[in-house]
Amino acid sequence: MEREQASDTSTWKFYSRHTFGTPFSKALGYFIVTVLLIVGFLCLFFVDFIYKLLPYTMGSLMIAIGASTVFCAVITKEYKSLDTKLSSTGILLIVIGISIIVHGNRADGLIGVIWGIFGLIEGTESLNVAIYNITHKKKWLADMLQTMLQITLALLLLVDPVTKLYPHMRILGMEHMALAIHIVRLNRA
């Protein structure tokens, strides 16, 4: 029964419901949402300032999200199922965050490529949701538009990660703010 709920939209949604169930994890989740909103605001309106700090803020944010994802995976015992990937994604985010911090100001290309790859992954997940919704006769147009936007932006970053990184900062700011709002909406649903 629980896995049927997970197939509704995504494994992330299913586990976020369980994760936000305890007071500590709820506080941690809302802390991360707050950080996403702040970073999103800074990327939108203070691009020059945040670009200089990008390797350290992005690396730290990835480590924090990775650590919280691993924490959530442990709480929900997600690692006991082969159908999910929260544990491995969390560990990968921690490793990437550390790599970005270590490379510091020389990490532009690395950050661009990583964002491009994650954008492709998010695009395929959105496409999966769109296909699911189409086959179940649910609303799908917004998911398909999101898919096309995510994949297009990801490909732009992958083709030229260094040059496209600076203009992508504002888009990243909007993505962070949208993600934070999306997480709050999922957990209130």
Per-residue pLDDT tens digits for 68-127: 888 888 888 887 877 777 888 889 999 999 999 999 988 888 888 988 898 898 889 889
Q: Which of 20-24, 57-61, 127-131, 164-168 has the lowest mean pLDDT?
A: 20-24
Pick 109 or 24 by higher pLDDT: 109
Across the chain, what does the average pLDDT equal? 81
Using only C-alpha atoms, the chain has a radius of gyration, in whole angstroms, of 17
Q: What is the pTM of this model?
A: 0.67
State yes or no: pLDDT of 22 exceeds 70. Answer: no
Q: Which domain holds residue 35?
A: 2-188
- The interaxial angle of helices 23-45 and 47-76, nearest 10 deg, is 160
Residue 1 pLDDT exceeds 90: no
Q: Tell me, what's the pLDDT at 14?
A: 53
139 by Cβ neighbours in 10 Å (0-12 / 13-18 / 19+) ranks as: exposed
Q: Quote the pLDDT of residue 94.
A: 95
Number of domains in the chain: 1
**């006769």: which residue's tokens?**
137
Helices (runs of H) and strands (runs of E) counted in the chain? 8, 0
28-49 pLDDT per residue, tens: 777 878 888 888 898 888 888 8
Phi, psi for residue 7 in degrees, rounded to 5: -75, -10
Q: What's the pLDDT at 127?
A: 92
Residues near 185 by Cβ (< 8 Å), separated by ≥ 6? none
